[in-house]
Amino acid sequence: MNFARTTVSLLLLAAIGTAAQAQSEKTREQVKAEYAEAVRTGDVIPAGDAGLKLNDLYPQRYPHGAVAVAVSRAQVKAELAEAIRTGDMMASGELGLKLNEEFPQRYPAVVAVASTKTRDQVNAETREAIRNGDMYAAGEGMTKLNEEFPQRYTKARAVYASKAQDSTVSAASTLVH
């Protein structure tokens, strides 16, 4: 049984090797030239545990590829000045926010958006959110007050649920009639 299994597996490996060799259209000289170029540019992985190519480990030893310059020095300076002015630069710290996101009051608004709601509507929505606990709790967590203190807002939820149910029933009754 083992002899048959070993024979079959060796035949399969030989067939795969032959197929791979038949698919390779490069000559021995082409492969040698490609390898020599890879060694010259440091595009080979040395023995060891680093897993980096030689040109990554020792960049000073190998030629660098040509870098295409798309913008001039003046353009880069202008872009930097604009980023500083608008706060479009990363803030220090672990949050990963830009300066204009962390300190929006210090920088001009990038896009002015016209509000579609009146001041009274916004105030009413804010009062409703406070009443329902739909405001974020103080601190670093991103929980809302009704999630952090559910016992304080159970009555508001019940009232809201009954209003939603009443509106659903009234909408359904108007559709029936």
Report pLDDT digits (tens) over 64-99.
Answer: 766 667 888 999 999 999 988 888 888 887 778 888
Instruction: Specify the pLDDT at position 78.
Output: 93
Higher pLDDT, 158 or 62: 62
CA distance 74 to 63: 28
Q: Is residue 42 part of a domain?
A: no
Query: Are 137 and 170 part of one and the same domain?
Result: yes
Q: How confident is the model at residue 170 (pLDDT cuts 50, 70, 90)?
A: low
Q: Is residue 12 part of a domain?
A: no
Q: Is residue 113 part of a domain?
A: no
Instruction: Specify the pLDDT at position 168.
Output: 62
56: CB partners within 8 A, 6+ apart: 42
Q: Is residue 97 part of a domain?
A: yes
Q: How confident is the model at residue 174 (pLDDT cuts 50, 70, 90)?
A: low
CA distance 149 to 156: 12
Number of structural domains the chain divides into: 2
* Sign of torsion over alpha carbons 76, 81, 85, 91: positive
Contacts made by residues 115-121, CB under 8 angstroms, sequence distance 24+: none
Query: Are 123 and 162 part of one and the same domain?
Result: yes
Q: Is residue 23 part of a domain?
A: no
Mean pLDDT for the chain overall: 79
124: domain range? Answer: 119-176
CA distance 80 to 74: 10
Q: Is residue 55 part of a domain?
A: no
Query: Are 100 and 124 part of one and the same domain?
Result: no
